[in-house]
Chains A and B, each alone.
Chain A
Amino acid sequence: MQAPLPISALLSLSFGVHIVLVNLDMAIATFIPLMEWLARKKNDDFLMERAKILMRYYASTYAIAGVFGTAFTVMLLSFYPQFIGLAGHLTWVPFGLAILMIALRFLTIVLYWYLWDRSPPQTHLAVGGLMALSGYLIPFGFRAVFAFLNVPSGLHLEPKPYLDVVEALMNPTFLPLYLKSVFGALAAGSLMMVTVYIIRYESSEGSLKGRYLELVSRFANYGFASLALMMFFGAWYSVSLITTPYKFYNIFGSLIGKPGEIDFGWLFIVKMILVLVQFIVLYQVFRPRELTETQISWAKIGGPVALATVLVGEMLNMHSQLPYFVAQPEVVNSLPEIFKQALLTTNANTLANLPELYMITTVFLIPLLAAVVALFYLLLKER
Chain B
Amino acid sequence: MDPFGLIQQWFSGYPAGWERLLSMIGIEVHWFILQYVLGLSFLAVVTEAIWLRTRNDDWKRLSRTLAKAFVAVFAVGAATGTASEFGLVLLWPNLTEAAGRYIYFPLYMEIFAFLMEGIFIYMYFYAEDKVSPRTHLIIGILAFVGAWYSGAMILSVNSFMQAPVNVIAHYDPLAGPSSWAPPDVLLFVPAQIAQALDVNKLAAVGAKVISATPEQVTVTLPSGLVRVLMREAFAGKTIGESTLAAVIKPEALQSLSSVSLKTVIDAIVANTVKNAGTFMITFLSKGYLATYVHALGAALTVSAFTLLGGYALRLLKTSKDDRDRGYFLRAIKFAAAVALILIAIQGTGSGHAMGAAVAKYNPEKFAAMEATTTQITSLPGMLGMKQLVEQFMPLLAYGDPNAKLPSYDVITIDYRPPLIIHYLYYTKIGLGVLLGLIGLLAVFYAFRREEWPSWVLWIAVISPAIAQITSFLGWGVREMGRKPWAIYGIMDVQTELTINPPPAWQLMGVALYLSLILVVLVLAVYWFLWRR
Q: Are B116 and A104 in contact (CB under 8 A)?
A: no
Q: Are A352 and B528 in contact (CB under 8 A)?
A: no
A210-242 at interface with B (beta carbon < 8 Å):
none
Q: Are A106 and B119 in contact (CB under 8 A)?
A: no
Q: Are B86 and A99 in contact (CB under 8 A)?
A: yes
Complex Cα gap A15–B395 (Å): 54
Q: Are A64 and B119 in contact (CB under 8 A)?
A: yes
CB A103 to nearest CB in B, in angstroms, measures 5
Contact with A along B440-468 (1 / 0, CB 8 A): 00000000000000000000000000000
Number of interface residues of B (CB under 8 A): 72
Residues of A within 8 A of B122 (CB): 60-61, 63-64, 375
Q: Are A91 and B90 in contact (CB under 8 A)?
A: yes
Chain-A contact segment, one of B56-64, B99-107, B482-490: B99-107
CB B522 to nearest CB in A, in angstroms, measures 11
Residues of B within 8 A of A160 (CB): 499-500
Residues of A within 8 A of B98 (CB): 81
* Chain A residue with Cβ nearest B104: A78
Interchain CB contact (< 8 A) of B513 among A61, A82, A100, A336: A100
CB A287 to nearest CB in B, in angstroms, measures 36
CB A379 to nearest CB in B, in angstroms, measures 6
Q: Are B498 and A81 in contact (CB under 8 A)?
A: no
B68-108 at interface with A (beta carbon < 8 Å):
72, 74-76, 78-83, 85-87, 89-94, 96-102, 104-105, 107-108
B residues contacting A by CB (< 8 A) are 72, 74-76, 78-83, 85-87, 89-94, 96-102, 104-105, 107-112, 114-116, 118-120, 122-123, 125-127, 129-131, 236, 260, 262, 270, 273-274, 278-279, 498-500, 502, 506, 510, 513-514, 517, 520-521, 524-525, 527-528, 531
Complex Cα gap A60–B125 (Å): 9
Complex Cα gap A89–B118 (Å): 31
Q: Are B521 and A107 in contact (CB under 8 A)?
A: yes
- Do A63 and B74 form a contact, CB below 8 Å, given A88-B96, A89-B499, A378-B123? yes
Q: Are B131 and A115 in contact (CB under 8 A)?
A: no
Residue A266 at the B interface, CB < 8 A? no
Q: Are B270 and A375 in contact (CB under 8 A)?
A: no
- Do A84 and B260 form a contact, CB below 8 Å, given A69-B82, A99-B83? no
Chain B interface mostly helix, strand, loop or mixed? helix
Complex Cα gap A269–B127 (Å): 41
Interchain CB contact (< 8 A) of A82 among B76, B78, B92, B97: B97
Residue A267 at the B interface, CB < 8 A? no
Contact with B along A58-77 (1 / 0, CB 8 A): 01111110111111011101
- Do A84 and B93 form a contact, CB below 8 Å, given A56-B126, A338-B262, A371-B119? yes
Number of interface residues of A (CB under 8 A): 73
Complex Cα gap A381–B127 (Å): 9
Q: Which of B92, B93, B273, B527 has the most CB of A within 10 A?
A: B93
Residue A90 at the B interface, CB < 8 A? yes
Interchain CB contact (< 8 A) of B123 among A73, A110, A162, A374: A374
Q: Are A114 and B524 in contact (CB under 8 A)?
A: yes
- Excluding A106-B76, A349-B100, 16 further A-B contacts by CB distance (< 8 Å) are A63-B78, A71-B115, A74-B85, A74-B107, A77-B104, A85-B96, A88-B89, A88-B93, A100-B513, A106-B78, A107-B79, A111-B520, A114-B72, A338-B260, A360-B109, A378-B131
Residues of B within 8 A of A364 (CB): 109, 112
